A and B are shown apart, each in its own frame.
Chain A
């Protein structure tokens, strides 16, 4: 039963992939090789679509793989069912594990030890977010870290747009705007000026 199998395959990804959406890719490669549901070339397309659509990338990947695999078995309706089951599979382990951890943390909120540990975690967590932002910045603005090795090229239009957005949202009255307004504006600028 391919639908049940989709659920459990993605529950496995949800259980073992630790970190951001990119962490799911090795697990998906392995899944494709074992089940024959999709090839590595299919996977590349799926990654591209997941990156260019709204929604966290890891979730998009699960939905996309679920749809493609389900539609092989049951047409568009099977695709929709596959998308739902793969996505539910991906999130089920997280829901259970995080609820257990959150319950534990709530119980020990007053503990000096837990408080001390979090005093160390907060700056580290901030640093990891900064590092992730930095690596996105390097690849988007300077073409570093992509598929081509040892390249460095300034993407002037992207760099100017990025600086402009940053200045607008920190130092001008536009900072009251919702972040998605900047995203929408940037999408239009990118499309019109052919970034």
Chain B
């Protein structure tokens, strides 16, 4: 995807330095893969093998019981479905607000534009903090509602500026032509600007969606009803079930497991697989998004 300059010296042969670099990069890449292999191995191993520490990168005492447990657990499937719905609603809400804010702010003639922009950018660098936001959500009666996971984060000023930059880069003549044809501003936005901005919109949607999918802090603060736990909070609950026990009693705690390690590992895989499925195909959009954000500076 990113082509290097070293294509130039292709004439020189592969030498020792090349091999060292390849070895190093391969090693680093492996550290990114090994944790997953271990999770898979753990989740497919029997509990006896895990407790007696026989498992490393290959399942010992192969069993798919753990996955059966997870996939037959109504709660877990419900959480998955709930988190998908939450992510979609959140992303839709975010994109709507982001577009509504970005488009008018591209118009230099707009009265008060600089004031509004400054007011928005200021919130990127200074915020009221965790507790005032928490009190606000409480006062708005949003505790233990899906909206507490959607509304407070429903517009990222940073993403808005990325989109605004992209809108500004579109040729003005198109909009002028549409205006002469009697299109009003909304018409121009919907018929001209948005169709031309689909790549940017896709990228930003992905940013929002990943943030929501991985989001944990707000759920920890605002959600106490287990039925409304998004995936990450549910996963945290499973993983931390007997972590305390483990760290406090050290080596002696092996017999005291409440949630078996295999189930934890399988839960980690369960929450990771959706990302692993979509990530390779969408990677390009993310990279493009980072670049656009960087050009803005």
Query: Does B associate with A?
Result: no
